[in-house]
Structure 1
């Protein structure tokens, strides 16, 4: 019953009957009075996107292992040969590999479950780090510095920034390494300098038994223009041994690096609007969007797809059929590899 012009209004008995049917859920009744205009048709509101299921209490959303809630600390790590062996990488929950100027790479180590006494060597931040960390809430980002044009973006991002100039007590210089490969971070002091950091939260990863299928592999290699990573399955360790540029990667405090899961996430690597002091343009790895990936776990390689609609929506990894692809519990490496 719309009450539109040119349509005879029903009598009171019919109106009462229709409204009674409305109460029974059998008919619609808008009930406008004689002088009220017709209601304007509206479209149904869009269904809100489903929320990500909460990580089980007492389990790290980054490793799938038991852990207590704790703030998130991300540290930008140098990775040229002169910076190796690293310190503190074995304690990281996550390790991201990013391409930088000259075709070499740097690491972004993420800590929450455990903190080493020291980690490093620490180097400068890049624009890619801002989007990459967007889903962690408000993490601490510790780095050695950044080019002046990038600083306003870093300060505007939801990050608690810790640098040597702002928190000298959180850093130390090693007499055993030449600059700029001699700056190390004290993670505990870095978190104390940024008390507003958020605890670890769900960023889209899932952990559990291996999915069916997959291709047995002994090793897998990822190449950058001037760097090479090889991940070799170690049945004894139940993990992958990492080699960088043909040499075993080790941490000075914990020995060989042995992630349980390695994700080769194929991304677009494009020039950014920033460059280093020599004029080399900084690459930007696009981690918002979707694409293909290769998930290495339990001695098998699984083809996958990744999806991250926004910088705060988390990154999900699924099988080609769309089912969640769980990681093996333990340290995870995400290798942001250029799309072929």
Structure 2
């Protein structure tokens, strides 16, 4: 598959947009039915990377997983619902990276990043948030799939270095499936999505380093990440050699079978502020600051490591450094990046 560039953005609920949490409960098919605040948000730093930053040959190992599979496949990011109404989710187990982001009402939503392999189906697909548009530039020009965004966020999607594969732009790749009501029944075919973005870029260095575990670390059986209205726990399974997820005390099963979770889980503490977007109920969309520096806890191999994260700009990846100043190595395989507020859980 290929490696090029081209911009876009699309249509989803709130980013700085307000997540229409109330609208979801009312069965609104798209979270994009929310309204924005009176002032536009500051556009994310979505300028295309310099030519020298783009990869022209496939890396020896995949920079997202540390494996050798799919090193030249294009990158596809998909927004996926992460509330109880949506569980179990489909296709998350196949992702290379799973971001967990706070949205309106203190709930969370996933952004699953695919490259090394693709599932047959992914979903429930939901709307984009402004924080997505700050995370995505590090991937060059990936394909970005989401159900929609409110009208006042569309210009920010259009300015972002992504291929817009929203339901509005790539409707033929989406379909309704299963017994759940809208908006929890929208799914997409990843291969059909990528056919609509033939120039989506392949993987590049986003700062992850894979290899043997560094010395030290604290033996850890489980860790719980908390947001104002929900929590996710990750429990080490020596048998499966990965961290198994649970959601609000319930095992986080996958629709395909098994339990969600990754070989490495990064708990990244990032300042969560109020964006200028909000839903029609007045709930402001959180904006997560993922540039700069901060603290992170990296879980791998049944141990936890206190680290520092650093991301100098939005078109650069995030590096993780141990207390002695050395790169923090991840276990090869799926990586979860769990973004929590740097401080007490809060609704901004």
CA change 1:52–1:317 in 2 (3 A) is farther
Contact 1:82 1:181 in 2 (8 A): yes
Which residue of 30, 40, 65 corresponds with 1:63?
Answer: 65
Q: Unmatched 5+ residue regions in structure 1?
A: 1-50
Higher relative contact order, structure no. (Cα contacts within 8 Å, ≥ 6 residues apart): 2
1:84 is aligned to 2:51:
no
The structural deviation recorded for 1:149 is: 1.0
Moved over 6 A (4+): 51-56
1:93 is aligned to 2:96:
yes
The structural deviation recorded for 1:212 is: 0.3
* Worse-superposed segment, 258-267 or 166-175: 166-175
Q: Which residue is equivalent to 1:182?
A: 185
The structural deviation recorded for 1:277 is: 2.4
TM-score between both structures, scaled by the size of structure 1: 0.83
Q: 1:180-237, CA deviations, whole angstroms, 9 ceiling, x for partnerless residues?
A: 1010011000000111210011101000000000000110011100010100000000
Q: How does 1:125-136 map to 2 (within 5 A)?
A: 125-136=128-139
Q: Which residue is equivalent to 2:296?
A: 293
Q: Which residue is equivalent to 1:107?
A: 110
Structure (1 or 2) with the larger CA radius of gyration:
1
Size of the aligned set, in residue pairs, is 291
* Worse-superposed segment, 197-206 or 164-173: 164-173
In the aligned structure 1, how far is the partner of 2:126 from the partner of 2:59? 34
Q: How large is the RMSD of aligned CA atoms in angstroms?
A: 1.8
TM-score between both structures, scaled by the size of structure 2: 0.81
Q: 1:275-309, CA deviations, whole angstroms, 9 ceiling, x for partnerless residues?
A: 11222110001101110000000000000000001
Q: How does 1:18-37 map to 2 (within 5 A)?
A: none
The structural deviation recorded for 1:321 is: 2.2
The structural deviation recorded for 1:162 is: 0.7
Contact 2:234 2:261 in 1 (8 A): no
In the aligned structure 2, how far is the partner of 1:154 from the partner of 1:264? 27
In the aligned structure 2, how far is the partner of 1:244 from the partner of 1:55? 40
In the aligned structure 2, how far is the partner of 1:56 from the partner of 1:216? 36
1:154 is aligned to 2:161:
no
In the aligned structure 1, how far is the partner of 2:303 from the partner of 2:55? 27
The structural deviation recorded for 1:55 is: 9.9
Which residue of 219, 229, 237 corresponds with 1:234?
Answer: 237
Q: Unmatched 5+ residue regions in structure 2?
A: 1-52, 344-348
The structural deviation recorded for 1:56 is: 7.9
Q: Which residue is equivalent to 1:250?
A: 253
In the aligned structure 1, how far is the partner of 2:306 from the partner of 2:225? 15
The structural deviation recorded for 1:131 is: 0.9
Q: Which residue is equivalent to 2:76?
A: 73
